[in-house]
């Protein structure tokens, strides 16, 4: 890098060609304790995610500490950099909204965060960025904005919340535990869980979507590996990591390493492999295409095909014993060495490309060599030779219900009901999440073994906003465990990383667009076959039946002014925007 960029000598004489533009820059510099003579220097900034729950509470202090570390380094080394005030982009809390109509805003929060971060970075012409991210959708929107802006940038997760404890049984509990007791008749137990499940602050602590995506970011190279797993309240996030982040940003700037140099076909494949090996959330196949798009790549055509994805899932074992399909939380994984242990294990097995450059200025292999993580402990983190589960956690399905593929199942979360990799059930159709929750609450006896619950008109355009189904999946899981039966679920919406059971999401084309899921009727036979990675409705194999049902669907749309009567009406500005412009789930469901 040109020395004049950082050498303060270039600013010995201050010249203002436009005082109107410069006076606020000078005022801001003085207020922040920076040199006002450097107001024409390249801009550095700290950005953070904010929202309405404890997921985001720790972000403000971390942003302030990173800002302080950046300020001190600029003054200490007399860097020719103009530091500006931190900026925040907001999201909503999935946990508080699951099962409500407000959950439609969750995925939209990814897009709004993207917009806000883009506005700040481009409007301020930022040349160096450190982002502190929390929850699960805002971090993806933040990374997408960083990739499109493509100036040196680095991410640090705010960190996970620690598990709570039931004061009566001493059992570890968390947010997903609470959703799973929602149908319990014991009101005192439900109150105990609500009062004790989420102590402190931080994002969801299991291998749910937040930790899936933070692990993805680390393996991708955009977040230092050792900063992923520590809890939000781990003192290193305030006392140690901020100075390290500034050092890494300096290295990136000096070497001219930009986000699109880091996020490549090879690093995206690394990140997907890590997500599979950690039994990650189905949301990763929604967010990965959006991240790839922001990096200028077509995920399913240029990075990995659905068939290759499934082959990876068949050959990559699950290495961690983690919630929701196992026993432990991310803080337990950190206690055993964290993400570096897992990445090292996969590198040694030849399952990752160690030559990919990362935000530390090192290759992935070099970063692991420096961190020198321990071997897997065999309980929380397992080895490739002796994995927790022999095959990976996710699988993409195609068939007459998903003719382009794209339907996704978390195999690691399946608790039973399949024989020789096949499930066959009878459809029980609901045209909204609210309808199935009503039935689960008031008439749970209608659900029988081998039912396939269908929730539709809940996709990116149908809901709109593609809400996740943690509330119904949790209630169904509890019902299945109580009765020792299997109830499957398929939907054109998506799932929380906390969902378990035989659940298939992202079914596309969605019902709102007249996809095959809109044509399924009560009593139809639905087959899920993991041997062929397929999902099919027997009745829709008959062309006459399919044509008749589609014609009836089209007629209902025509008679209802162009929108099917089962699709919710929307007046809200953001919901209207999502309905009008949302891409398919296979394309990331962005706008």
Task: Provide the annotated active-site residues.
Answer: 496
Nearest to 131 by CA among 222, 236, 55: 222
Q: Which conformational region is residue 372 in: left (phi greater than 0), alpha (psi within -120 to 50 degrees), or beta?
A: left
Reduced DSSP (H G I as helix, E B as strand, rest coil) percent helix, strand, coil of the chain, to 5: 45, 15, 40
Backbone angles phi, psi at 540, to 5 degrees: -80, -5
Which residues does residue 49 pair with via DSSP β-bridges, in sequence order? 89
Angle, vertex CA 410, rays to CA 406 and CA 411, nearest 5: 115
Residue 365 neighbours by CB under 8 Å, 6+ apart:
347, 354, 355
User: What DSSP line would sit under 484-513, residue for residue?
Assistant: T--EEEEESSB--TT--SSEEE--SS-GGG
CB atoms within 10 A of CB 451: 19
Rounded to whole angstroms, how far apart are CA atoms 181 and 194? 10
Rounded to whole angstroms, how far apart are CA atoms 222 and 262? 7
Backbone angles phi, psi at 537, to 5 degrees: -110, 120
Residue 478 neighbours by CB under 8 Å, 6+ apart:
180, 181, 182, 183, 184
Nearest to 242 by CA among 483, 69, 450: 69
Burial class (CB in 10 A: 0-12, 13-18, 19+), 553: middle
Backbone angles phi, psi at 348, to 5 degrees: -65, -30
The tokens describing 560, both together, are: 């209802």
Rounded to whole angstroms, how far apart are CA atoms 153 and 137? 19
């Amino acid at each position: 890098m040109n020395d004049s960029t950082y050498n303060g000598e270039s600013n010995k004489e201050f010249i203002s060609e436009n005082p109107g533009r410069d006076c606020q820059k000078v005022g801001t510099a003085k207020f922040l304790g920076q040199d006002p003579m450097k107001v024409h220097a390249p801009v550095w900034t700290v950005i953070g995610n904010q929202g309405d729950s404890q997921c985001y509470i720790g972000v403000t202090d971390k942003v302030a500490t990173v800002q302080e570390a950046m300020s001190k380094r600029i003054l200490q080394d007399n860097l020719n950099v103009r530091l500006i005030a931190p900026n925040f982009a907001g999201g909503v809390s999935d946990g508080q909204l699951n099962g409500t109509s407000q959950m439609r805003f969750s995925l939209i929060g990814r897009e709004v965060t993207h917009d806000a971060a883009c506005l700040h970075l481009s409007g301020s012409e930022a040349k160096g960025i450190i982002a502190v991210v929390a929850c699960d959708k805002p971090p993806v929107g933040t990374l997408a904005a960083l990739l499109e802006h493509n100036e040196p940038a680095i991410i640090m997760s705010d960190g996970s919340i620690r598990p709570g404890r039931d004061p009566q049984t001493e059992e570890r509990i968390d947010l997903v535990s609470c959703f799973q007791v929602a149908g319990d008749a014991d009101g005192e137990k439900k109150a105990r869980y609500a009062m004790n499940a989420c102590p402190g602050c931080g994002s969801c602590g299991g291998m749910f979507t937040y930790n899936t995506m933070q692990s993805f970011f680390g393996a991708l190279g955009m977040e230092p590996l050792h900063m992923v797993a520590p809890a939000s309240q781990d003192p290193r996030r305030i006392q140690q990591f901020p100075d390290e982040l500034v050092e890494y940003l300096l290295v990136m700037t000096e070497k001219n390493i930009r986000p699109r140099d880091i996020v490549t076909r090879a690093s995206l494949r690394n990140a997907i492999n890590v997500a599979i090996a950690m039994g990650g959330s189905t949301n990763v196949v929604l967010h990965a295409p959006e991240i790839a798009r922001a990096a200028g790549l077509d995920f399913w055509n240029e990075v990995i095909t659905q068939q290759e994805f499934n082959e990876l899932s068949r050959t990559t074992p699950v290495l961690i014993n983690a919630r929701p399909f196992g026993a432990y939380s991310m803080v337990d994984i950190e206690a055993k060495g964290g993400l570096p242990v897992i990445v090292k294990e996969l590198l040694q097995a030849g399952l990752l490309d160690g030559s990919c450059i990362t935000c530390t200025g090192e290759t992935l292999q070099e970063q692991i060599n420096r961190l020198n993580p321990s071997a897997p402990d065999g309980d929380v983190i397992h080895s490739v030779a002796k994995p927790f589960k022999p095959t990976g956690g996710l699988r993409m399905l195609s068939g007459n219900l998903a003719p382009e593929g794209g339907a996704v199942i978390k195999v690691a979360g399946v608790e039973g009901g399949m024989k020789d990799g096949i499930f066959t059930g009878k459809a029980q159709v609901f045209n909204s999440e609210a309808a199935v929750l009503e039935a689960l609450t008031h008439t749970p006896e209608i659900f029988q073994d081998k039912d396939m619950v269908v929730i539709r008109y809940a996709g990116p355009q149908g809901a709109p906003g593609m809400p996740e189904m943690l509330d119904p999946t949790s209630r169904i899981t509890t019902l299945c465990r109580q009765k020792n039966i299997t109830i499957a679920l398929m939907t054109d919406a998506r799932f929380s990383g906390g969902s378990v059971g035989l659940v298939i999401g992202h079914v596309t084309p969605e019902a709102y667009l007249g996809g095959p899921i809109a044509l399924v009727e009560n009593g139809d036979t639905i087959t899920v076959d993991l041997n062929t990675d397929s999902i099919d409705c027997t009745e829709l194999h008959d062309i006459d039946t399919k044509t008749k049902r589609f014609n009836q669907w089209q007629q209902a749309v025509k008679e209802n002014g162009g929108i099917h009567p089962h699709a919710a009406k929307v007046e809200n500005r953001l919901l209207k925007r999502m309905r009008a412009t949302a891409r398919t789930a296979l394309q990331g469901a962005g706008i």
